[in-house]
Amino acid sequence: MGRDRGLREAEGPGKSPQSLGGLLVQVGGWGRFQMVHLAIVTVPFAFVATHSFLQNFTASIPEHHCRSPGERWPVDAQGRRERCLRFRGNATNETETCVEGWLYNLSTVQSTIVTEWDLVCSLKSLHGVAQSVYMAGVFLGAVVFGGLADRLGRRAVFLWCLLQVASLSTGASLAPSFPIYCVCRCLCGSGMSGVVLNEWTPPSRRAAVSAFLSVVLSLGQLNLAFLAFGLRHWRHLQLVAGAPFALCFLCSWWLPESVRWLMVRRHLPGALRALRLVAGINRMPTAGIQLSVEVRKGRGWPLRKAGRTPGSSALDLFRSREMLAGMGTGSFCVNPPPPSSPLSSPRFSASLSLYSLALNLQRFPGENPYLVQIILGVIDIPFRLLVPKLANCLGRKLTLVSCLMLGAGLVLGTTPVPQELGRLRMGLSVLAKGLMSASLSCTVLLASELFPTSIRLTGLGITNMVGHLGGAVAPLVLLAGTANALLPPLLFGIIALAGGFLVVFLPETKGLPLPDTLEQAQKLPALPPGSRELPDGGNGRGTPGNKGETELPSPGCGDAGADC
């Protein structure tokens, strides 16, 4: 396991002082600073999924019927009161629309955006549109803030996005109209994509921290269930969901910039100041840090043969004919394969299926929605924890294919189950959601191992953007279920199967070194399994024999199922 890049990396007395892992060991490795830093970052991470699925409760549709001047109502085929029609009077059977509004059953909620703005009957689709608008914001923020984090630094983007989410969540809770609510939710979602880590975790603890944050993301769905149970008014729930981001913003001003980003950008004085601050907090001597940084400066670490890499941008992913072809086909059939295109299809299909399974709790009639939300959140935890071990044993490709194919089979398996067997349908849906969540975690791991350091967050942003597009489309596809209940699960299952098939064209990255330049990333598929050095003579860190030091990213920010 120690040789598997992306999951664990050797460090210790034999670690080269010229490697980033060596510098982190000099400043204390896993010390007080790393613990405090992780505690601060955990706060917003615990509420990313809360915001993603917030409309399970803030936009729930209670039982309702028309206000009527009389005591008679028309009934539907099941013998229930018609929701959208009423009799004109007690003496006639002529019906009309609900011109005087609706009466809602508020036994489980006090207020939702549906009851406040009457988003029922002819306006019923708008509650799904509101969820799609939020995911559209995440979709746009993924690429915008990913690129800004690569250019401006992780710290500035992290602080700005915390402030943006806190302020726009408050704005949504105070929105006087549905359009303003949608605007605030969209901007809140875009800020969610910039909640990134500062990459201070030492290599030996990176796998454990990544697994911990994955669990924290899943716990966000449990937070939602408990908050919604205690706060039955949608405005109160929306306001409280943004409070942790404000708290984290107030506590994060002192955090230093990512030392990896500073070194890649060759801001060596800033890197030295950051290292000394961390060493001081960890109570470690700082005498050797200056020497290590100067050695790196003299050797031009880590980009000896890529002078323009510090200025790399998302356009570099499209500069070659092979990459353009790969972007057009969405597969890895070209050589060299573009790192983002093959991940787009499985990422999109997994996100589409996951959000379809996690949204609309009311498709399980008669079940307690708070309990259903807890079950959907808990199921992610064991599946997420299994991903690192399976990726080590089976490889990234086989793990991803297995999760997608099995999840798609379970989604399709719900279609023949009759409505009377509601518990069986729910059980299949819960297992399918866990598998889709695991597949998202695996795509994050693959993406982190394919993109070079200089544009890693930009590349992850593009890949995540495609995944968030699936999250934005899912609520709209669910609306088709009102016409044909079989259409959404069939569509979701078939798309997931197609995404799993395209994974076979991905290169296997298990045991390969982490690239720093775009040229190295393009040549990764040509390396033999277990290779420790890149074609340019480096090993991903510019120091031969470094055992492939890794930058394992946080679970997909803004993506409740990822991983970020």
State which amino acid sits at residue 173. Answer: S
291 and 371 housed in the same domain? no
Q: What is the pLDDT of residue 533?
A: 54
- Is position 154 within any domain? yes
* Residue recorded with tokens 């716990």: 219
Residue 104 backbone phi and psi in degrees, to 5: -115, 145
- Is position 166 within any domain? yes
Specify the number of domains making up the chain: 3
354 and 401 housed in the same domain? yes
121 and 199 housed in the same domain? yes
497 and 425 housed in the same domain? yes
Q: What is the pLDDT of residue 289?
A: 58
The residue range of the domain holding 75 is: 64-104
Looking up residue 46, the CATH number of its domain turns out to be 1.20.1250.20
Q: How far lies 35's CA from each of 28, 39, 41, 42, 441, in Å?
A: 11, 6, 10, 10, 23
Domain boundary among 276, 295, 314: 295
- Is position 542 within any domain? no
The model carries a pTM of 0.76
502 and 457 housed in the same domain? yes
97 and 229 housed in the same domain? no
- Is position 553 within any domain? no
217 and 347 housed in the same domain? no
Characterize 515-541 residue by residue with b for buried, 16 or more Cβ atoms within 10 angstroms of its Cβ, and e for exposed.
bbbbbbbbebbebeeeebebebebbbb
Domain boundary among 104, 132, 160: 104
Characterize 188-211 residue by residue with b for buried, 16 or more Cβ atoms within 10 angstroms of its Cβ, and e for exposed.
bbbbbbbbbbbbbbbbbbbbebbb
Contact between residue 245 and residue 169 where contact means Cβ atoms under 8 Å apart: yes
164 and 189 housed in the same domain? yes
Q: What is the mean pLDDT of each run of 10 residues along the chain (564 residues)?
A: 37 47 69 85 88 90 80 72 76 75 85 90 84 87 77 85 93 94 93 73 70 80 91 93 91 82 76 80 66 50 44 54 37 38 71 85 81 89 84 83 89 82 85 89 76 66 76 83 79 87 75 64 56 48 38 46 45
Contact between residue 354 and residue 410 where contact means Cβ atoms under 8 Å apart: no
- Is position 177 within any domain? yes
State which amino acid sits at residue 557. Answer: C
373 and 507 housed in the same domain? yes
202 and 54 housed in the same domain? yes
Domain boundary among 234, 263, 295: 295
- Is position 133 within any domain? yes
Q: What is the pLDDT of residue 66?
A: 84
* Residue recorded with tokens 């915001």: 51
258 and 398 housed in the same domain? no
State which amino acid sits at residue 89. Answer: G
351 and 278 housed in the same domain? no
